[in-house]
Structure 1
Amino acid sequence: MKKVRVLVTRFSAMGDVAMVASVLRELQAQNRQVELVMVSRQHFEAFFEDIPNLTFHPIFPEEQHKGPKGLWRLFQELKKYKIDYVADLHNNIRSKILTLFFKTAGYRLGILDKGRHQKKDLIKRKNKILVPLRPTVERYADVFRHLGFHLKLGNALKKKDRPVPETFKSLLNHSGKNIAVAPFAQHPYKVWKLSNWDIIFRAFPTHQFYIFGGGRQEQETATDWSSLHPNVHSTIGKLSVSAELDLISNLDYMLSMDSSGMHMASLVGTRCLSIWGATHPYAGFLGYGQSINDCIHVEHPNRPSSIYGNKSCLCDGVEAIDLVSTEMVIERLKGIL
């Protein structure tokens, strides 16, 4: 069968790029003739490490690939791969400029339909249309179907066999469960009150919790939790992205916000309970293979207020994320532990 080479672009955000990896893994498994060139930020390369016949090409949007001139430079770099198709899975200003260069050069293109109108109907305050939208992973898959490839998404978790990072090997040998926790997110309206976590950690003293994600401030918070609770361990600043995936694959569950942690759990086949506030799983961003039954949230007419969680979502004077009580989370955890 003749080999074909597909250029795929998705530059951010972290969770969206992780979902692309889930789709590309399925695409390659069902179309062995396909060779992939993935263009994204270098920090996300680990998401694609185990996909056969995939070459990762980093974009540096703040450096040599900044602005139209930088994107022209990137275009010249990518042409050397002698690609057959271009799949734009981002459809933002930067990817549109790059795609225009390829279109002008005569390449066959597939471009993501973000479903903007449906999403606007989902988040508007009046006459909101609260129905499940097409999942983002299916929208990604549609791009490849448009290009003529057969692709059927199984949307199932597949547990990955990965090594345990040396730093954490000794901690996994105990009688309780090992639970990943991703309590932070880019936007505050997607973050559960940090004080709630002390209650969660105390409620399950025989189980071990591993904190993922965040920068210096989040690292300090995780360190404080670790000093207060002997069953809490921070991974922040200690592991590469690849090693984080290694550890998550060896844990029993993840408890996450609507954030990249959920999508990293999907990449390695770990079941995730997720807490939702200003956003809603109906928007199509539930982790690949994760169940909507594992979403912890309280329905309210004002939800969701935004697709990405960057806007306040007051529900009778209370932020939507704060409608989720510690009792609700404890009950859901007890149901699976």
Structure 2
Amino acid sequence: MPEKILIIQTAFLGDLILSTSFFHAVKMEHKESEIHVLVNLGTESVLDQNPDITKVWCLDKKRIKKNPFFFLKFVKKLRSERFDKVYSPHFSYRSSLISFFTKAPIRIGYKESGFSFLHTKVIQRPKQGPHEVEKLFSLLFEPYDFPTGRERQPYLYPGTEEESSFALKKSKLIKNDSGYILIAPSSLWETKRLPEEKFVSVITQILRKRNETVILIGSKADIEIQNHIFRLMKTEPLELKERERLLSLVGQTSLKELMVWIQNATAILSNDSSPIHFASAFNTPTVMIYGATIPAFGYGSLSDKHRIMEVNGLNCRPCGIHGGRVCPEGHFRCMLDQNPVRIFEALEEVIKT
């Protein structure tokens, strides 16, 4: 019987994407094993066609909160799999409980996780310093054995259906052969968002000084941000042929379709959010904008060509691991002091280098 391993990662989408390098490392270390992965419902499509994974389990957090009996039924089903080992890179109380209830003889997690005493082995997870992938690798390797190079980057596998959809849509939308630059103006947390006015300034510089098409990306929840940007763009001094090179795919792509658009982009400009990690999987040149959070948290780009844009010298940064809804100091200088000219220059740097 092959060894059965469960990896619990029910965090945000970006965390799951970064964890694919860990899934790959586990598979390489346990080549004959079955690798099962537990994720948050709604994020599972990014694991489609991943050869390192035997089975994906989806946890419906909303249903569990409404009905605790569903949680018990779910963990009972997991226990019936008779896992030999569980890795828990997610450090919530719920994840530790799930790991414990599997009754796997080996359960490895972080010392800082909720109910960490339920693990059979704990590894210290520093809040700042190492990149997130190094923190993940610490559950499996000693530091001197951490994978390097390509094996640090995420593993995503868009399918032929998404590639065909991309080719068809691209041929209809983009009228020149100069490539395109993606702009991801949103984030789940408001204090991680560069104001739309500053994105407009950067977009205007791209359209006036470069030849690429500019494409906004995001989910359906980001439609209002898209609309605000388009409203502001109307007052910018641009020629019609320049305006025609600003497009939007906000709310129009699945996660797997978004993979292909990011894979083929000339570059991407994004807040500290999941598009950065999509780009890392395909080594797409990246410019990252940091506000409430800091690169030292370990969620920066793993693309070879990248630049970090942040306002230094603010003793209020970081104001939280995820950011927040409003600036706790009331001034929001971490974003309002960002320089759009410098952001544009950073974009040109990652494209040229």
- Tell me whether the two structures share a fold, i.e. TM-score over 0.5: yes
State which of 221, 225, 230 in structure 2 corresponds to 1:221. Answer: 225
The structural deviation recorded for 1:91 is: 1.6
TM-score by length of structure 2 reads 0.79
Q: Which runs of 5+ in 1 are unaligned?
A: 120-131
Does the 8 Å contact 1:278/1:320 carry over to 2? yes
Does the 8 Å contact 2:266/2:285 carry over to 1? yes
Of the structure 1 ranges 159-168 and 188-197, higher mean CA displacement relative to structure 2 is found in 159-168
TM-score by length of structure 1 reads 0.82
The structural deviation recorded for 1:224 is: 5.6
Distance 1:157 1:10 in 2: 14
State which of 295, 306, 313 in structure 2 corresponds to 1:300. Answer: 313
Instruction: Within 5 Å, give how 1:171-190 maps onto structure 2.
Output: 171-172=173-174, 174-190=176-192
Counterpart in 2 of 1:312?
327
Counterpart in 2 of 1:266?
280
Q: Deviations over 1:170-223 (max 9, x none)?
A: 33562323112111111111110101122222212221122222434x213324
Distance 2:225 2:247 in 1: 11
Q: Which runs of 5+ in 2 are unaligned?
A: 114-123, 235-242
Tell me the percent identity: 17
The structural deviation recorded for 1:109 is: 0.4
Going from structure 1 to structure 2, the CA distance change for 1:333 and 1:137 (only over 3 Å counts) comes to same
Distance 2:153 2:134 in 1: 13
Q: Deviations over 1:30-54 (max 9, x none)?
A: 5422321111123211221232141
Counterpart in 2 of 1:279?
293
Going from structure 1 to structure 2, the CA distance change for 1:321 and 1:248 (only over 3 Å counts) comes to same
Equivalent pairs counted in the alignment come to 316
Aligned residue type for 1:182: A
Going from structure 1 to structure 2, the CA distance change for 1:219 and 1:140 (only over 3 Å counts) comes to same
What is the alpha-carbon root mean square deviation over aligned residues? 3.0
Counterpart in 1 of 2:214?
209
SS of match in other structure, 2:346: helix
Q: Find out whether 1:152 has 2:151 as its counterpart.
A: no
SS of match in other structure, 1:143: coil
Instruction: Within 5 Å, give how 1:5-84 maps onto structure 2.
Output: 5-29=4-28, 31-54=30-53, 55-63=55-63, 68-84=68-84
SS of match in other structure, 2:18: helix
The structural deviation recorded for 1:299 is: 1.2
Aligned residue type for 2:48: E
Does the 8 Å contact 1:157/1:290 carry over to 2? no
Q: Find out whether 1:242 has 2:284 as its counterpart.
A: no
Does the 8 Å contact 1:114/1:139 carry over to 2? no
State which of 290, 299, 308 in structure 1 corresponds to 2:303. Answer: 290
Does the 8 Å contact 1:248/1:265 carry over to 2? yes
Q: Deviations over 1:61-96 (max 9, x none)?
A: 112575653322121222343322111111202112
Distance 2:21 2:35 in 1: 13
State which of 130, 133, 139 in structure 2 corresponds to 1:134. Answer: 130
The structural deviation recorded for 1:305 is: 2.1
Q: Deviations over 1:76-121 (max 9, x none)?
A: 222343322111111202112212213xx353101134599953xx
Does the 8 Å contact 2:88/2:108 carry over to 1? yes
The structural deviation recorded for 1:21 is: 1.7
Distance 1:198 1:106 in 2: 52
Q: Find out whether 1:251 has 2:265 as its counterpart.
A: yes
Q: Find out whether 1:143 has 2:139 as its counterpart.
A: yes
